[in-house]
């Protein structure tokens, strides 16, 4: 299962994406990106299921690793992170580098506009 997911994720990451001018995040583009790259592991709705990763409803302003009913890693719960635009941007850019030892198998979003877009969407969809 793990290998299948990792393979699916790397295929997605290898797809070319449109060159957009950097600007503040576009929630609609962020939604497409979330559906392609994150939805396989995360739900966003209130009381949504924990999948491979935790449900993300209410995450803004909350401590890392505190999603209800999800067994977060020690690395995540002890990271001291509180989720906001800045910490989320740092984490999603380089999950393994920002929280070494955490269990999210995801390479990271390297382009600033993709980060901005997905954060704009998460903000809308998780509160
Ligand atoms: C292959 C599955 C997988 C994919 C793909 C994935 N995640 Fe995760 N994510 C996880 C897991 C597992 C954790 C829990 C990490 C831990 O506790 O160490 C996590 C944790 C998180 C957290 C921290 C949650 C909290 O309550 O502290 C956020 C935010 C997050 N992911 C967002 C995203 C976004 C946005 C994407 C897409 C850009 C994404 N993830 C892609 C599995 C995944």
Would you state the torsion angle of the CA atoms of residues 6, 7, 11, 14, taken in this order, to the nearest 10 degrees? 60
**Average predicted confidence (pLDDT) for the chain:** 89
pLDDT class of 24 with cuts at 50, 70, 90:
confident
Pocket of ligand 1 contains residue 104 by CB under 6 Å: yes
Whether residue 44 is predicted with pLDDT greater than 80 in this model: the reply is yes
Measuring from atom 35 of ligand 1, which residue has the nearest CA? 38
Taking the C-alpha atoms of residue 22 and residue 112, their distance in angstroms, rounded to an integer, is 7
Lowest mean pLDDT among 16-30, 55-69, 75-89: 16-30
């Amino acid at each position: 299962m793990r290998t299948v997911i990792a393979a699916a994720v790397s295929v997605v990451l290898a797809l070319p994406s449109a060159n957009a001018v950097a600007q503040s995040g576009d929630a609609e583009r962020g939604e497409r990106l979330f559906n392609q790259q994150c939805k396989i592991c995360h739900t966003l709705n209130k009381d949504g299921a924990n999948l491979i990763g935790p449900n993300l409803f209410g995450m803004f302003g909350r401590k890392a690793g505190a999603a209800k009913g999800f067994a977060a890693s020690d690395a995540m719960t002890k990271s001291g992170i509180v989720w906001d635009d800045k910490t989320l941007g740092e984490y999603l850019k380089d999950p393994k580098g920002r929280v070494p030892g955490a269990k999210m198998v995801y390479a990271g979003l390297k382009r600033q506009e993709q980060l901005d877009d997905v954060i704009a969407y998460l903000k809308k969809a998780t509160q």
